[in-house]
C-alpha cells in the first residue's frame, strides 16, 4: 500500500458539488486529514446517532471559567479525541490559549505528523467558548 492510499480520499468538507461534473467534491491525502481533524474537534460527543462516542469533549467547556486548568483540560480532550479517531497522524500536540483579538474565543493549535509520510503539519482555528458570540462578525 502506498502512502497516498493510506492517507485516503473523502468528501470535501464542507460538502460541495462540482459544477462541471455534478458530483460531490473530494479531498485527498493531507487535505483529507486536515478536514477530518476539524470534523473530530467540532463534533460533540453524542451528536452522531449511530456513533455517539465519536467527537470531542471540548464542547463541555463552553461557558466554563477560563483559567489554566480549564485550558489544560480542553487540550487533553482534543488530544484524546484525535488519538482515538484519527489513526493517520502521530506526535500530536495541542495548545489552546485565549484569543486576544476575539472575545469569547480560544485559539486551538494542533501540531501533528502524518504517519505515512512523516510530514509535519500545523492547524490553528478559533473555538467559541461563549456559544454564538463572535460568529460571523469578521
Q: Give the residue ranges of DSSP H helices in 19-126.
A: 29-42, 68-85
* pLDDT tens per residue, range 68-126: 999 999 999 999 999 999 999 999 999 999 988 887 889 999 999 998 889 999 999 88
Q: Is the pLDDT of residue 136 over 50?
A: no
Domains of the chain: 3-128 (3.10.450.40)
User: What pLDDT is recorded for position 128?
Assistant: 86
Going by C-beta distance under 8 Å and a sequence separation of 6 or more, which residues neighbour residue 61?
Answer: 70, 73, 74, 77, 129
pTM: predicted TM-score of the whole model, two decimal places? 0.76
Place of cell 467558548: 129
DSSP state of 58: G
Q: Is the pLDDT of residue 137 over 50?
A: no
Residue-averaged pLDDT of the chain? 82
Amino acid at each position: 500500500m502506498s502512502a497516498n492510499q493510506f492517507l485516503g480520499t473523502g468528501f470535501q468538507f464542507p460538502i460541495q458539488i462540482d459544477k462541471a461534473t455534478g458530483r460531490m467534491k473530494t479531498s485527498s491525502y493531507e487535505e483529507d486529514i486536515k478536514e477530518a481533524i476539524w470534523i473530530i474537534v467540532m463534533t460533540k460527543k453524542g451528536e452522531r446517532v449511530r456513533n455517539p462516542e465519536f467527537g470531542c469533549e471540548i464542547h463541555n467547556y463552553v461557558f466554563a471559567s477560563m483559567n489554566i486548568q480549564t485550558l489544560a483540560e480542553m487540550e487533553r480532550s482534543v488530544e484524546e479525541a484525535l488519538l482515538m479517531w484519527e489513526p493517520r497522524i502521530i506526535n500530536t500536540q495541542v495548545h489552546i490559549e485565549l484569543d486576544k483579538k476575539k472575545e469569547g474565543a480560544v485559539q486551538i493549535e494542533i501540531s501533528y505528523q502524518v504517519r505515512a509520510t512523516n510530514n509535519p503539519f500545523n492547524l490553528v482555528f478559533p473555538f467559541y467558548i461563549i456559544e454564538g458570540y463572535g460568529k460571523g462578525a469578521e
